[in-house]
Amino acid sequence: MSNEIDVVRSSLPQAQRPDRSRRVDVGGIEVSVVEWGDEAAQPILLAHGGFDFAGTWDLFAPLLAERGFRVVAWDQRGHGDSDMAALYTWEADMRDAAHVIESLETDKPIPVLGHSKGGGMMNQLAEVLPHRVSAVINLDGIPNKRGFTNQIDRSDVNALAAELTGWLDHRRRAGQMNRRADTIEGLAERRQLMNPRLSMEWLQYLVTVGARCDDDGWRWKIDPTLRFGPSGAWRPEWAIPRLRGLHVPYLGVIGTVKEEMGWGTTPDEAFPILPEGAEFHALADTGHFVHIERPEYVAEMTVNFLGRVL
């Protein structure tokens, strides 16, 4: 089996597994923390998106590490090698992020970078712990009033009924659920349905780091009790005035090609709500995963930005 992994990973020699890993107690459950680069270098915290895991940084994080950063990422609870929890909320994920920062044992504020959901989380982290954050880099996680691309119209009674009962039906089954077992190629093909712009080489690589090999095949290491929506009482527009109110150096990057997993925020929507003095880049011909589609470009932009503001 390790041979199979070697073959898959050899097609992407530029992707690198982390140099170190450890576990951090976040209040009874543990999250997996990984690092690339010199331990004595300037730390930067990376927050992955929903239904992703720290291994999705294997292309991007080494580029920051080789440019002189200690790159720290973690698997959010229920994702990757972190423990599964009984309950999940945005607030619990925020607490976990704070625990990971505390585990670095530095009093100095650090730059934070997040993709998608992780970008939204880092926006909030800079508000709730401003003394811990020296800069924010947000990769396609800038909010808009409409919410996610696939958000339903809640005034449509039938659509809302389907969403609400669908979520409850999922919860009724969730305790007995297991993720579907498949081959590396099969899991990669399924993930490509949601991430159509990502290459099969990359998606197969992701299987080898984000799935586990059971007797009957590979399964994603993502808690099967997790499910998209409904987002409860939370409203996307709540995040907008808060973003405007951040007072840290801020780099916003969005992809301009709309995708199922993306938020669909346009440059016209993003620009007026960014913090004062923010840098903003809308990447042409790039989808939601800006750091995977254009790792060198985004890493260079990130390092140049941090060189100016830190």
Nearest approach, Cβ of residue 84 and other proteins (Å)? 8
CA torsion through residues 199, 203, 209, 215, sign = negative
Q: Contact between 13 and other proteins (CB under 8 A)? A: no
Residue ranges of the alpha helices (H) in the chain? 2-10, 61-65, 90-102, 117-128, 157-174, 184-194, 200-210, 239-244, 267-270, 290-293, 295-309
* Shortest CB 150 distance to other proteins, Å: 18
Q: Which is nearer to other proteins, 130 or 267 (CB)?
A: 130
What DSSP letter does each residue of 139-172 carry, written as one string? ES----TT-STT---TT-HHHHHHHHHHHHHHHH
Return d(Cα 35, Cα 47) in angstroms, integer: 12
Which residues in the 36-95 window bind other proteins by CB under 8 A?
77, 83-89, 91-92, 94-95
- For other proteins, the binding residue among 157, 178, 193, 284 (CB under 8 A) is 157
Contact status, residue 148 vs residue 194, Cβ threshold 8 Å: no
82 and 89 Cβ atoms separated by less than 8 Å: no
In order of 43, 64, 111, 113, the CA distances from 248 in angstroms are 17, 20, 10, 13
Helix (H, G, I), strand (E, B) or coil at 29: coil
168 touching other proteins, by CB under 8 A: yes
Q: How far is the CB of 170 from other proteins (least distance, A)?
A: 9
Map the footprint of other proteins across residues 199-228, applying CB under 8 A. 225
CA distance 114 to 76: 12
Interstrand relation of 69-74 and 30-36 (parallel, antiparallel or unpaired): antiparallel
Rule CB under 8 A: say whether 161 interacts with other proteins.
yes
Tell me if 154 contacts other proteins by CB under 8 A. yes
Q: Which residue lies nearer to other proteins by CB, 14 or 231?
A: 231
Interface pick for other proteins out of 39, 175, 178, 276 (rule CB under 8 A): 175
Contact with other proteins (CB under 8 A): which of 24, 29, 282, 303? 29
Binding marks (x or -) toward other proteins, 86..125, rule CB under 8 A?
xxxx-xx-xx--x-------------------------x-
What is the CA 49 to chain-centroid distance, rounded?
Answer: 2
Asked if 7 is part of the footprint of other proteins (rule: CB under 8 A), the reply reads no
Candidate residues 8, 15, 26, 298; the one interacting with other proteins per rule CB under 8 A:
26
Instruction: Note the residues at the interface with other proteins (CB under 8 A).
Output: 26-29, 77, 83-89, 91-92, 94-95, 98, 124, 127-129, 154-155, 157, 160-161, 164-165, 167-168, 171-172, 174-175, 225, 230, 232-235, 238, 242
